[in-house]
Amino acid sequence: MSDFANLSAKDFNPFLSFSGHRCCQVFHFGVVPYQEALAWQRSRVAKCKLDPALEDTLLLLEHPPVYTLGQGSDTRFLKFDPACSPVEVVRIERGGEVTYHCPGQLVGYPILNLAYYQKDLHWYLRQLEEVIIRVLAEYHLQGSRIPGLTGVWVEGYKVAAIGIKVSRWITMHGFALNVCPDLSGFQAIVPCGISDRPVGSLEQFVPGIQMSQVRQQVAIAFADVFQVQLIEA
């Protein structure tokens, strides 16, 4: 369990003082098998559909090695036979192509009701990118967007991937920020279907970077960008 789990609500006071903002529960589950996190998301989304007034949630966690493919992704972006893969391969309902998750990569799953924000998927994607860009700025790194693509790059390296699913304006899936992972797993795929842009990590630019610190910064940036009141779950 990281230091984030020991933070109290007072640590987020600058973002709790706004009146009339949505509450957002923040969960940290450590390293969680992908299927368990997926089941948790689906269960929460189902509850939110039944009761749209439920508070929002943000899951911050890591996964054991796993490849995930969006619902319409092309298997030609896999450089191996998925039937013979030693690493789990999962096709899911998010958009986008294949990506890779592993320890050292911070994954965020916001479950938000966009009816309380903006009913605009492009807006939502840009907001998620903005969260990452603000975190990078804490390390004096310039996060950039590339027109026509989704994600965040630093000096030409893609450090954050984003893939979402929205149903009845309730979101699931989210973003993956490469903090200090073993990037070798990306060599077996064409990440996000983009063959001409390399994948990178924050550790390349900030040696010794700590996951626990990045996790805190992501939570604070998320609260700032979406103007929510963070509640430690």
List residues with catalytic annotation: 192
| Residue 132 phi, psi (nearest 5) | -65, -45
| Other Cβ atoms within 10 Å of 32 Cβ, number | 17
Which one, of 232, 180, 183, lies nearest residue 3 by Cα? Answer: 232
3-state secondary structure of 106: strand
| Other Cβ atoms within 10 Å of 144 Cβ, number | 14
Tokens in use for 66? 């796993």
**CA atoms in the 13 A half-sphere facing the CB of 95:** 14
